[in-house]
Structure 1
Amino acid sequence: MNEPPTDLDLVSEPERPYHHGNLRAELLKRAWDSIELEGAEGLSLRALARELGVSHGASARHFKDKQALLDALATLGYERLNRALSGLSSSAGPFETRFKAAALAYVKFAVSHPRLLRLMHAAKLHPEASATLHELSCATLRTLTDAIATAQHGGEARGGDARHLALVAFANFHGIATLATDDLLQGMAWQDAAALSIGFTWQGLAPARQEQP
């Protein structure tokens, strides 16, 4: 929904130019920084345009309303998160090493960007969420599922439904990330909690040890 102008906006906001270099990128950067500090509730396209010295109409050319901006921010967040997890799909190195590194990268992203992560999960459920956002939001679990299936074929992971194993694994390290961002780790460093959780999760994924002859 478009944000209606207030009386103060109509009186005090002078006409501003429509061009500001790469305005879309500048709006996203300012919005990202704002959410990191204060969350999405107080985010305003009109205020962002005012900070950048352009008209509200100029910002509306890139984002029709606040929800469109939140969708774009969530999309950017998933793109960055998926890049952080890209090593999981690599064929280099043992699957155990790649799995643990990807799980730790997810927890680190969540701890570093808690408000953004909440926005990302909320935006993908919005009725007006874009197809791109839907696709990117499913990539983490899909990548983990594919990686487990590949590891199973190579004897690097236990048998079973790869989708179910991926879901349980994701629940474990997402749960640690949530506890960390909500300050519920009882004083334990998030790195230590993540290492313990990821280690236990790996025990459930590791292939059965073969009997020695």
Structure 2
Amino acid sequence: MNLPNKLTLSRIILVPVFMLLIIPIPEWIVNSNFLAFAHSQLENVNFFIKNYGNYMAAVLFFIAASTDGLDGYIARKRKQVTNFGKFLDPIADKLLVTAALVALVERGDLSSWAAIVIIAREFIITGLRLVAAGEGIVIAASKWGKIKTVTQIIAILTALLRGYLVDVLLGFPIDKVLMLVAVIATVYSAYDYIVKNGHVISQTR
């Protein structure tokens, strides 16, 4: 396996680690009679997750998000572009963002509506790309697609660091404002893709 594919795979491997750091162990497991012998240890784990896990998760998310684009750049520069990499890269990108959104909704730090809009956009554009590929057309990443990605990463990182940032900024809900910006950029990027590539769908009717 070449280096670009290893970088892509590393993003996928980091996803379950990210989830473990941000979502506490369910109370029904912590308080179950079956695990009574480990009750105090499980409570300590949850204490760590609730107080420090989101900061560690933010670091992991930043590292994983930083490799987005790096793997493709290395693959093109070294002429190591493979079908496996083409298949894996978009999965890694979407899995990372989706996992972060679901985790934030689970923690109550994000509205499910924001998560649904962002995830729905990925389904729509992926479907458009699949139809285009069937017609032998390649839909390249657009400027707004890149803006969407950057705003989502910034918004998610801010949400993960919400407690610290809110305290520093005297209660200003910067995490919610940045997530709103990300949602707007997401919706507009979908509109941009559809307007510019809508003919692909009309050709297949």
Rg comparison, structure with higher value: 1
Q: TM-score, normalised by structure 2?
A: 0.36
Structure with greater contact order relative to length (CA < 8 Å, sep ≥ 6): 2
More helix by share: 2
Q: TM-score, normalised by structure 1?
A: 0.35
